[in-house]
Amino acid sequence: MPQIDVQKQYLWFPVRQGGERKPLFIYDGDTRIFEFAVAPGNDAPDFYAALNINDWMGKTLALSGEFPDAFFENIRQEDQKPAGTSRRPRLHFAPEIGWMNDPNGLVYQDGEYHMCFQYNPFDTEWGNMTWGYAKSADLIHWQELDPVLYPDETGTMFSGCAYIDRENAAGFGKDARLYYYTAAGNNGEWSKGKPSTQHLAVTTDGGRTVEKKGMVLDTVERDNRDPKVYYHAPSKGYFMVLFLVDNDFAVFRSENLKDWSMTQRITLPGAAECPDLFELPVDGDQSNTKWIYWSADSCYYVGSFDGYTFTPEQEKRYAYCNKIAYAAQTVYGAPDRLITIPWLRTGQRELNGKKTTYHGLMGVPAVLSLTKDETGYRLRQNPVEELDRIITSSVERKNLLSGCEETVAAVEDAPFEIKASFPAGLTGTASIGFAEGLTATVDFAKGLFQLGKEEVPFGANKELDIRLIVDDDVIELFADNGALYTVCEHTANTLAGEIRVALEGDVKLDSITVCVFGNN
Ligand code: FRU
């Protein structure tokens, strides 16, 4: 077996993107400490995957797996992590190297936002589910740190949440941060034949070190997964929602955050994966709240919850207009607002004829609210105000009249936002062009918003506000005060260009504002 005398913090593995994977095992003496499925890049890797082995400094580790000698010979030790693709989206988080899906363990603690995520450090496709980790003071600039949970003999590390134990109910100390996650068995050799179980891990040093504490909930359905935990104040108890199978979910209850018993099994037609159950005031009225049972593709049910049982009071609705955003989770502990962050299922980009080293983005964090009208309750989401704080320049034009064709601003290569407000009762079309031929069109006669390949119907005949957040790779659209949300991918090489407006028929614009984001 090839041996490594650990002298530096990181091991670099040469990998081939999307190649055939085989299991790689790493041992400390007789103890297996890692298993990853790896496509070897040998002496011509697409990139290097890094693994922090600081905990074994001064020791000798052994590697095994059916790999060519050239793979083992090209494993290196380095003091830092390798660099990824030179350019990534600037407003939307992506890890520098590897595949990312769902946000996990979202939490605000001691003035910082912490975001873990489903992560494959060894490829730009799904696998080896590990909890990657990043933190941020403002939800916009994220610092990527080393992963905090790696696959083990119980399985790979599937999605889960964070909870801050302010009462020390679990006994790990006041304000211990608890991470609940799914150990997804039967992913790889190590956990072969095992089902999915729910586990607890704890950090008491603000997230730097995370210790696994073992299983807290045994299997209910073989692939049950994605625990999300909150406190229910009126009934003074903790609850967990979990995805079971098909459209079935469960609510569990605990008094100590460690022992959980099921209080409800519920079928929510249309819903699957990554549940969340949270409370929001109706139209901002704190004395009138509703609970929302949320699932991965934004299918949500509004109803009531007594700490044990959720009762839907309205048919399902969807918060997203297309399938790119997925698996959003709310942030635990952010004062005075409920923040949501989705994973954006973007395609693998190429830059200069080469695949990028990242795959998958997070959406810009948004604040959730709930409104009620004659059609029922509706979730709305609007980008966090922190985004406004990084505006470096803006141009506003008011009262653009029908027939106008104008350049309203010219931007350098930086992310920007276009905000526009239209009066009610229009029948013509408005188009806004930007970057390399990208266009957003609002067709008021059809009640259709068109952004690249994405089409979003909207209720015509009323005032309409739109916000387009334009970054590298993606554009997010928030419209009608956040009731409509969609994401469009693009491959423009630069965001520089003129912002052009053309108004046809009777269309007028009350105002249009272009805000350019900087790095401040
Ligand atoms: C949703 C999901 C979760 C699961 C995770 C695995 O995208 O399938 O249900 O925990 O991804 O990566």
**Residue for token digits 């709305």?**
380
Choose one of 245, 247, 274, 343 to mutate for the ligand 1 pocket test, by most ligand atoms within 8 angstroms of C-beta. Answer: 274
Q: Which atom of ligand 1 is nearest to the CA of 243?
A: 9
| Å from CA of 38 to ligand 1 middle | 20
40, 65 in Cβ contact below 8 A?
A: no
**Residue for token digits 């769902």?**
102
CA distance 505 to 418: 22
Confidence bin at 183 (pLDDT 50/70/90): very high
Please give the average per-residue pLDDT across 348-364, as a whole number.
96
Ligand 1 pocket member 158 (CB < 6 A): yes
| Å from CA of 159 to ligand 1 middle | 6
Choose one of 116, 119, 120, 158 to mutate for the ligand 1 pocket test, by most ligand atoms within 8 angstroms of C-beta. Answer: 158
Structure tokens, 260: 């959980």
Q: pLDDT tens digits, residue range 411-468?
A: 999 999 999 999 999 999 999 999 999 999 999 999 999 998 899 998 877 899 999 9
What's the pLDDT score for residue 452? 87
| Å from CA of 151 to ligand 1 middle | 14
| Å from CA of 59 to ligand 1 middle | 35
348, 452 in Cβ contact below 8 A?
A: no
Please give the average per-residue pLDDT across 312-325, as a whole number.
97
What's the pLDDT score for residue 459? 82
Ligand 1 pocket member 102 (CB < 6 A): yes
Q: pLDDT tens digits, residue range 18-68?
A: 999 999 999 999 999 999 999 999 999 999 999 999 999 999 999 999 999
pLDDT at 1 over 90: no
Ligand 1 atom 8, closest CA: 273
CA nearest to 49, candidates 103, 152, 119: 119
What's the pLDDT score for residue 453? 87
Q: pLDDT tens digits, residue range 372-397?
A: 999 999 999 999 999 999 999 999 99
Q: pLDDT tens digits, residue range 269-318?
A: 999 999 999 999 999 999 999 999 999 999 999 999 999 999 999 999 99
> Tell me, what DSSP letter sits at residue 229?
E
pLDDT at 257 over 90: yes
Catalytic site residue from 46, 69, 102, 205:
102
What's the pLDDT score for residue 520? 63
Ligand 1 pocket member 226 (CB < 6 A): yes
Ligand 1 pocket member 225 (CB < 6 A): yes
| Å from CA of 126 to ligand 1 middle | 10
Coil, helix or strand for 225?
strand
What's the pLDDT score for residue 155? 98
Radius of gyration of the chain (CA): 24
What's the pLDDT score for residue 462? 86
Ligand 1 pocket member 297 (CB < 6 A): no
Please give the average per-residue pLDDT across 197-217, as a whole number.
97
Q: Quote helix, strand, coil % in the chain, to nearest 5.
A: 5, 55, 40
What's the pLDDT score for residue 508? 95
70, 43 in Cβ contact below 8 A?
A: yes
The verdict on whether 102 is a catalytic residue reads: yes
Round the average pLDDT of the chain to a whole number and report it.
97
